[in-house]
Amino acid sequence: MPAAEIFIQATETDPTFTAGAAVRKDHQRLRSRLEELTTVPIAGGAALASDLVDFCRHELREYLVAADRDLYAPASRRVEARLLVDALRVASVALTRHINDLAVASSGETARIGTMIAGALDLYLRIEESVLPALADQSGVDHPAVVAEAQDALVKEIGVAPAVIDVRQIARGGRHPRVLARYTRLAPGETFILVNNHDPKPLRREFEAMHAGEFSWDYLQSGPDEWRVRIGRVSADV
C-alpha cells in the first residue's frame, strides 16, 4: 500500500494516531526505499536511475501532498500550530525543488541529486516526527521551542528559511509592488508569508487581476492587530 494511503487512513481514523508507531513505520519505509535507490551505482544503470526518478515523482511526492492536505491544512487553522506547519511546508518545498531537478537531470547528476533528496527527506521526516504531537493537540508541547528547533534545522541542513515580508515598515505606495515582485521570483510550489496590520484585500484583488488561477492565498492569522497571509505560486504538477 502506498505511503500516502496509510497516512490518509491514519488521519481519518484518529488524528492523534499519526504521532504513533504507524507514521514512524511509514517514514522508515520511505527512508529505506530511498536509501536503496541512492546507494546502488545509479550512474551505471539507467533502469535503477529510472526507478529513483519514478519513486520521487510519484510515491514521495504523493506523500508530501497527502501530508499537507490531510494534516497540515487542518492544523494550520489553529494559531499555535501555524508556525509548525510553515516549517514543514518550507521543508516540503525544498524537497519538491530537488525532485523537479531530478526529473530533468542528466545521468551523471542523478546520483548527486538523489543523495540531496535523501538528506532533505530525512530532515523533513525528523521535523514531522518532532511536531506531530503538537499538531495532534497533545499537551505539554512547547510550541515556540519546537518552531525554533525546526527552523534552525532547515537553515543548517537545507539552507532555507521561511521567507517573510513585513510590509508594516514599508511606505504605503511601495507595499504592493514589493509583494508582487517577490511573487514573480517564486518557483512553482514555493511560498512566502506576508505580514500586515490590516486585511490585505486590495492586494488580493490585484493578484486575482494579474495572476488568476496561478497563486494561493491562505490566511494564517486574521487580526485584530496583525494579519499573516501565506502567498504561493501554484505548482502545475500538483
Report the distance separating Cα 100 and Cα 79, nearest Å: 32
In this prediction, residue 205 carries a pLDDT of 94
- CB burial of 172-199 (b: ≥16 within 10 Å; e: otherwise) equals eeebbeebeeebeebebbbbbbbbbeee
Q: Where are the domains of the chain?
A: 3-157, 164-233
Cell, residue 176: 504592493
Looking at domain 164-233, which CATH architecture does it have? Answer: 2-Layer Sandwich (3.30)
Per-residue cell: 159: 539552507
Q: Which of 52, 3, 1, 10 is nearest to 28 (CA)?
A: 3
| Number of C-beta neighbours around residue 88 at 10 A | 24
Q: What is the pLDDT of residue 204?
A: 94
What does the pLDDT read at residue 200?
A: 94
Whole-model pTM?
A: 0.53
DSSP letters, 94-151, are HHHHHHHHHHT--HHHHHHHHHHHHHHHHHHHHHHHHHHHHHTT-SS--HHHHHHHHH
Predicted confidence at residue 184, as pLDDT, reads 84
Helix axis angle for 3-13 and 21-39, nearest 10°, is 170
The pLDDT assigned to 196 comes to 92
For residues 74 and 17, the answer to whether their CB atoms sit within 8 Å is no
**Is residue 153 classed as helix, strand or coil in its secondary structure?**
helix
Whether residue 200 is preceded by a cis peptide bond, meaning omega within 30 degrees of 0, is: no
The predicted pLDDT at position 13 comes to 46
Distance from C-alpha of 53 to C-alpha of 97, rounded to nearest angstrom: 13
Query: Which secondary structure element, helix H or strand E, spans residue 217, and what is its range?
Result: strand 215-222
Give the C-alpha separation, 210 to 94, whole Å. Answer: 26
Residue 24 pLDDT: 76
pLDDT score for 127: 76
Predicted local confidence at residue 153, as pLDDT = 53
Q: How would you write the pLDDT of the chain (238 residues) with one tens digit per residue?
A: 454 444 444 444 444 444 456 667 778 888 888 888 887 654 445 556 788 888 998 888 888 887 777 777 776 666 666 666 777 777 787 788 888 888 888 877 888 888 888 888 888 888 777 666 655 554 444 444 544 555 555 555 445 555 788 888 888 888 898 888 888 888 787 788 899 999 999 999 999 999 988 999 988 888 888 898 989 888 665 4
Helices 143-157 and 107-135: crossing angle, nearest 10°?
170
